[in-house]
Amino acid sequence: MSKKILITGASGFIASNFINSCNRKKYHIVGIDLVKPKYKFLRNFEFIKFDIAKKNNFKLLKKKKFDYVIHLAAFSKPSKAEKFSQKAINSNILGTKNIFDYVKEFSKNSKIFFFSGGALYNSTPKYLPMDENHPIDPYQNIYCFTKRSGENLCEDYIKHYNLKIIYFRLFNTFGPHQDEEFLIPSWIKKCKRKTNKLEILNGSIIRDFNYVENLINLLFMLMKNNKLNGGPFNVGSGKPVKLIDIANFIANYFGMQVKDLKNKNTFGSKKQFSSIQKIKNFSGWKPEISLRDGLIKTIKFYTK
């Protein structure tokens, strides 16, 4: 009998890649989102349009039971959360609570996957790479506040209701289907216009980029491991890279050069990368697709 999966944020970046990967696997998937996915529906895929922030909408699920809940619905743009704070709170906090309440009431044996962010860590690192014991600062902006609130809900529902939840702190996941406002697809989009040079704000910033397929592989691995619970678990590449190096790679692919504006007033930390030793130790997972190969796959997706 095929396993049943509820996936929230079904039209989004990570969900799109996850559902595409399910083409080769026997799952029955129910996807929910405010926006209908653009990709082709699978035979075993059912889409339901609704807002997870409105509890009354959950009656549309008709008390279905699921083996897994992949909770990806979120306000995912840190730099815009201040402007759209109510949307961020509704989606990242209220929506998360509603999902957990549904599982608690109708699908108690579900394994839930929740996704927080590496942005929670202090913008000025105490040490690098950042492991899960590194200090966090949930009050640096609304986005971080909502993500930490989601983590607190995870711990609360594990402790008081015995739900099976595992939660991650993602570091700069990238790949096909990502919104073109995000860094890597935005640079690819600029290069496609064939302007003289690819302008970037500050190439000296150091980040940790992880190709989305690496994350999907981890999810499939953990779906077979019902013992792993709780968190947080950092999920990134564990390797630092300067933005100028990524910009040069993308620009070179298009036969262009990079102009670094060296703007110091950019959003977020100037240097941040993860330790992924904890998730390696608990699961045996490690990223298989390199940054270079991931960038090539991503460029080909946006230029096909």
Tell me the domain boundaries of the chain.
3-175+210-237+275-288
- Distance between CA 281 and CA 270 in Å, rounded? 28
Rg (Cα) of the chain, in Å, rounded? 19
- Distance between CA 282 and CA 163 in Å, rounded? 19
pLDDT along the chain (304 residues), means of 10: 93 94 86 87 85 97 97 90 93 98 97 97 94 96 96 98 98 96 96 90 96 97 88 98 98 96 83 97 96 98 93
19 token code pair: 């559902």
Superfamily designation of domain 3-175+210-237+275-288? NAD(P)-binding Rossmann-like Domain (3.40.50.720)
| DSSP at 110 | P
Q: Name every residue whose Cβ is closer than 8 Å to that of residue 86 and which is 6 or more positions away in sequence.
A: none
Per-residue pLDDT, 2: 86
Which amino acid is it at 149? Answer: S
Per-residue pLDDT, 41: 64
CB 82 within 8 A of CB 141: yes
Predicted model pTM: 0.96
